[in-house]
Amino acid sequence: MLALTYGGPNRVRVKDKPEPKLEHPNDVVLRVTRAAICGSDLHLLHGLIPDTRVGCTFGHEFTGVVEEVGSSVESLQRGDRVVVPFNISCGSCFFCERGLTANCENTNPNASVASGVYGYSHTTGGFEGGQAELVRVPFADVGPMKIPDDMTDEAVLFLSDILPTGYQAAEMGEIKPGETVVVFGCGPVGLFAQKSAWLLGAGRVIAVDYLDYRLEFARRYSGVETVNFREVDAVAHLRKITGGRGADVCIDAVGCEAKGSLAQTIFGVKAKLMAGSSTAINWSIASVRKGGNVVLIGAYGPPFNAVDIGTAMNKGLTIRMNQANCKRYMPHLLEHIREGRIDAEGIITHRVPLEDAAEAYELFDRRRDDCIKCVLIPPKAA
């Protein structure tokens, strides 16, 4: 089968790989119909996530059709269309029983770090990803959700990760009616965090980025105010336009490759002496009001960052963070999509054949052709 394959930092290509097989009675094998490139895949590409091994296949956002079914699988049968959450969860451990499927303790040998994740290094279990023609899905009675017959794969594709991630970020911010929310980042997760902030009652939503085309997209798609930090001092400007007090909630939807600080970029991204740049975290801490809420949903590689924790303590901030517990939110967000409150597929700007996935990575990485979100289409799913 064809699969996007990692060849070392900044090198990926599509090549033939062996087809996945059922390895456990509760596995299924999917024929992938759509797979997306996530901003966190770029962290893998750039070598910022530990234990990313040559030869692995990326991709944790995908839909597919069930091709093979393990002997103990009860909820799926051959031919079912499904969307799969990016975190692999057992459904029965201490954390899964509490809805914390991102913290499952049975799907990753490094369970103290995270649950298993498709295509996201051996730090998260070494599972093969979905940027391929076929993918093995373990715990098939737990994760996958059937796609309704009246909905397309692309309409629900982002239930796999970025829509629940953005929504959970807004929820963790505990937004009260009328509050001001600042979202750092106008990539796909940031856009969904912005939309979700409105759904949860925000009175004002402000988006921060440095690329004019992404800021324009956010204004059009999310209906937000925008700030370009290349044109103003972001923290000073945000404090000014919030009456000198700061926002009620700040969300870091950027992660470990945040721009805005030369020192952070050199030490955290180029030299890899830290777990990436913590610029967006520090700007969130500085821009929120005293007693406010800061939410971190951008991906960071362990183990440490130069985070201004002293200021956070002195301001009495609440800081919340986690990978998205996708399974918890998928049914609820499906209804938002169905009712037209969220046009999830509206962020797709590029559809690319799987065979050209390496070129798509370059397009997305270099922010070319006003790229917001790339979707890969395997040959037999076009």
What residue ranges in 19-167 does DSSP mark as E strands? Answer: 28-36, 62-69, 81-84, 87-88, 116-117, 134-137, 145-146
Per-residue pLDDT, 228: 97
Q: Same domain for 238 and 330?
A: no
Last residue of a domain, one of 301, 321, 341: 321
Distances (CA, A) of 332 to 229, 234, 343: 34, 34, 14
More confident site: 99 or 262: 99
Q: Same domain for 114 and 137?
A: yes
Q: What CATH number did the domain enclosing 361 receive? A: 3.90.180.10
Instruction: Work out the number of other CB atoms within 10 angstroms of the CB of residue 367.
Output: 13
pLDDT of residue 261 exceeding 70: no
pLDDT of residue 263 exceeding 60: no
Q: Same domain for 25 and 124?
A: yes
Q: Please tell me the total count of domains within the chain.
A: 2
Q: How confident is the model at residue 271 (pLDDT cuts 50, 70, 90)?
A: very low
Cα distance between residue 127 and residue 118, in whole Å: 5
Q: Which of 41, 80, 88 is nearest to 64 (CA)?
A: 80
| pTM value > 0.85 | yes
Residue pointed to by tokens 């970029």:
265
Distances (CA, A) of 79 to 65, 84, 128: 6, 15, 22
- CB of 112 within 8 A of CB of 186? no
Last residue of a domain, one of 321, 342, 359: 321
Average pLDDT of the chain is: 93
What residue ranges in the chain does DSSP mark as E strands? Answer: 2-6, 12-16, 28-36, 62-69, 81-84, 87-88, 116-117, 134-137, 145-146, 180-184, 204-209, 225-228, 247-252, 288-296, 318-321, 350-353, 374-377
More confident site: 381 or 6: 6
State mean pLDDT over 27-39.
97
Per-residue pLDDT, 303: 58
pLDDT of residue 187 exceeding 90: yes
Per-residue pLDDT, 30: 98
Note down the domain range covering 144: 2-160+325-381
State mean pLDDT over 286-307.
84
- CB of 159 within 8 A of CB of 152? no
Q: What CATH number did the domain enclosing 240 receive? A: 3.40.50.720
Per-residue pLDDT tens for 321-351? 999 999 999 999 999 999 999 999 999 999 9
State mean pLDDT over 166-177.
98
pLDDT of residue 266 exceeding 70: no
- CB of 134 within 8 A of CB of 32? yes
Three-class SS state of 201: coil
Q: Same domain for 84 and 203?
A: no
Q: Same domain for 14 and 109?
A: yes
Q: Same domain for 203 and 83?
A: no
Per-residue pLDDT, 147: 98
State mean pLDDT over 231-260.
89
- CB of 92 within 8 A of CB of 79? no
pLDDT of residue 185 exceeding 80: yes
* Contacts by 223-226, CB closer than 8 A, 24 or more apart: 223/198, 224/183, 224/194, 226/186
Q: How confident is the model at residue 262 (pLDDT cuts 50, 70, 90)?
A: very low
Residue pointed to by tokens 């969904």:
192
Per-residue pLDDT tens for 51-84? 899 999 999 999 999 999 999 999 999 999 999 9
Residue pointed to by tokens 């000014």:
240
- Could you give the percent of the chain with pLDDT greater than 70? 92
Q: Same domain for 21 and 68?
A: yes
Q: Same domain for 147 and 242?
A: no
Which residues, in sequence order, are bridge partners of residue 288? 247
Q: Same domain for 99 and 80?
A: yes
Per-residue pLDDT, 276: 57
Per-residue pLDDT tens for 14-29? 999 999 999 999 999 9
Per-residue pLDDT, 304: 57
Cα distance between residue 159 and residue 164, in whole Å: 6
Cα distance between residue 274 and residue 280, in whole Å: 14
Per-residue pLDDT, 273: 44
Residue pointed to by tokens 């959970």:
168
pLDDT of residue 267 exceeding 50: no
Q: Same domain for 193 and 287?
A: yes
Per-residue pLDDT, 299: 75
Cα distance between residue 376 and residue 117, in whole Å: 19
Last residue of a domain, one of 321, 341, 371: 321
- CB of 287 within 8 A of CB of 182? yes
The most distant pair of C-alpha atoms in the chain lies apart, rounded to whole Å, by 62
Q: Same domain for 352 and 220?
A: no
- CB of 5 within 8 A of CB of 12? yes
Per-residue pLDDT, 47: 86
Q: Same domain for 105 and 210?
A: no
Per-residue pLDDT, 298: 83
pLDDT of residue 129 exceeding 90: yes
